């Protein structure tokens, strides 16, 4: 596990990567069903790809994209900052 945590810290330092830890104390959230990727089309329109246990979907409908984007914003606001996340991962590494 220590090597995995070290890899997270290394990748989290990249300028194109945002690594945030969502503590268990944050409770449940609207994106617990699976993963979500926010993409931008060539014409600047956001599109969301969601993936769960049994399926994946591309969401293009503007109101659905807005709702999922808001859920993502709430999730990232509930997570630790980048620096606090890195400190937490570092502490876990040291404890293992």
Antiparallel, parallel or unpaired: β 35-40 and 56-59 = unpaired
Q: What is the pLDDT of residues 47-75, one digit of tens each?
A: 999 998 889 999 999 999 999 999 999 99
- Given its phi and psi angles, is residue 44 left (phi above 0), alpha (psi -120 to 50 degrees) or beta? left
Beta-carbon contacts of residue 85 (< 8 Å; ≥ 6 apart): 12, 19, 20, 21, 79
Q: What is the pLDDT of residue 51?
A: 94
pLDDT of 31 strictly over 90? no
Please compute the mean of the pLDDT values over residues 35-48 and round it to a whole number.
94
Tokens in use for 46?
């956001």
Distances (CA, A) of 78 to 27, 44, 47, 55, 81: 10, 27, 23, 27, 9
DSSP state of 13: T
pLDDT of 4 strictly over 90? yes
Instruction: Tell me what percent of the residues of the chain surpass a pLDDT of 70.
Output: 100
pLDDT band for position 29 (cuts 50, 70, 90): confident
Q: 36 and 69 in contact (C-beta within 8 Å)?
A: no
Tokens in use for 32?
């617990």
């Amino acid at each position: 596990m220590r090597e995995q945590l070290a890899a997270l810290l290394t990748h989290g330092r990249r300028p194109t990567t945002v690594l945030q830890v969502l503590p268990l104390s944050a409770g449940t959230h609207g994106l617990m069903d699976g993963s979500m990727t926010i993409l931008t089309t060539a014409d600047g329109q956001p599109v969301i790809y969601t993936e769960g246990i049994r399926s994946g979907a591309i969401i293009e409908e503007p109101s659905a994209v807005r709702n999922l984007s808001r859920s993502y914003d709430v999730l990232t606001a509930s997570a630790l900052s980048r620096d606090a996340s890195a400190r937490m991962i570092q502490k876990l590494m040291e404890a293992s």
